[in-house]
A and B are shown apart, each in its own frame.
Chain A
Amino acid sequence: MLDEFPETLFTIEWHSPNYTPGNSDFDLPSEYSQRGAMYGVGGIPHTQWNGVTETVGGYPNGNWQPMYNSFMNIYNSMIGDETPYDIEINGFAGETEVGYDVTISMDADMSNSNQKVDIFVVEDDIWSYWGAVAMYHNANNVVRNWLTTEDLTISSTGENQTFSGTFDLSDAWVHDSVKIVAIVQNYSTKQIYQVTEVNINDMNPDIDDDGILNGDDNCVSVYNPGQEDEDGDLIGDVCDPCNNLVYILGNLNGDANMDGTPIIDLIDVLTLVDYLILGDVNECQEPVMNINGDNYVNVVDVILLAQMILSGNN
């Protein structure tokens, strides 16, 4: 099935410490324990499909053929479902270290409650002796490192979030066979909403080709070799929807004089009232509407903003 669906079916192997020869380095006991506990894995073989459908046992003596039809049915029941998430993995592979950027983007709204991003390092095609059936075989995508589990904070159409980091390449691995796998998973329901993998040699170290490597680029996907950042918020101007020199506390509509001085006036009070009544707010307004800094935007903030304007402290 892996050969049939190379673009849409991804597998990783977690090797049980209880069934791994002493001279093998396949097992990651604590990671296996954590991942296995998540799914209630008792014995092996146990396969978990998109986190929610499992098959246990069923292929004696390593013979997977009888499982083909049932596996195909599970695959067909999941493939192509709409998901709000798209995952892109880029980075740079050095001799001993790899830098990665995993970017999750959304093309529909979905709550981020309990949504996590897991990033794994796997090694593919490890020619290894399978003692249970006394034969050699290619172990596929054996988990070598569970890099991180992060909270996904985005929830709306058009938003994206990037997770960056580095990891060391072990001398024991065939570096050309090392891949990074990233998934979006709900840690409450266990549902996996999207997955992507990439060989470390196929990653693009400079997505926008502006000469600034992704990890150092203040706007990864848009060409900006000058890295202009007028408001100094580490988000490049071409990627930054909010100029924080204009969107200061109280300036909800983001207007300014010709010289760039923010204007805080009655319109901002009305905008704040509109927010309280209608709930309409954009990402630039959110940080500048909590006038008294108590983390709750309410009528008190309206009064304080009006007082601020009337007293000329704007």
Chain B
Amino acid sequence: MKKILILLTLSIPFAQKLDPIDIAMQELRTAVETASRSSQKVFVEDFTGLN
């Protein structure tokens, strides 16, 4: 019983610490994905002639 209480006591604060890490990882993931997105190039069609 004591062991369970100790484990519970230890796990609660560590569980609290995981949240910000998860959030940070998610933000990092979003940043990396956004940075690696393809960028638009520009295409010009020139309707023209020679005379």
Contact = CB atoms under 8 A, between A and B. Distances in A.
Chain B binds chain A = yes
Interface of A: 5, 7-16, 18-21, 24, 26, 32, 35-36, 39, 41, 44-51, 75, 78-86, 107-108, 128-132, 139, 183, 192-196
Contact of B50 (A50, A82, A130, A194): A130
A195 B41 contact: yes
13 contacts: A11-B45, A14-B46, A46-B46, A47-B45, A49-B42, A50-B40, A50-B42, A50-B43, A81-B40, A192-B43, A193-B40, A194-B38, A195-B41
B50 A131 contact: yes
Contacts of B46: 11-14, 45-47
A189 to B, nearest CB: 15
B49 interface: yes
Please classify how large the interface on chain B is, using the bins under 10, 10 to 19, 20 to 34, 35 or more. 10 to 19
Contacts of A8: 39, 41-42
A274 to B, nearest CB: 26
A143 to B, nearest CB: 9
B51 interface: yes
A24 B45 contact: no
Contacts of A26: 50
A46 to B, nearest CB: 4
Contacts of A193: 40
Chain A at the B interface: SS class = mixed
B9 interface: no
B14 interface: no
A20 B44 CA distance: 20
Contacts of B41: 7-10, 79, 194-196
A135 B43 CA distance: 27
A48 B46 CA distance: 7
Which 10 pairs, one residue from A and one from B, show the smallest C-beta to C-beta distance? A19-B49, A131-B51, A195-B43, A81-B40, A46-B47, A11-B44, A48-B45, A16-B49, A86-B38, A83-B40
B44 A10 contact: yes
Given A14-B45, A35-B45, A47-B45, A20 B50 contact: yes
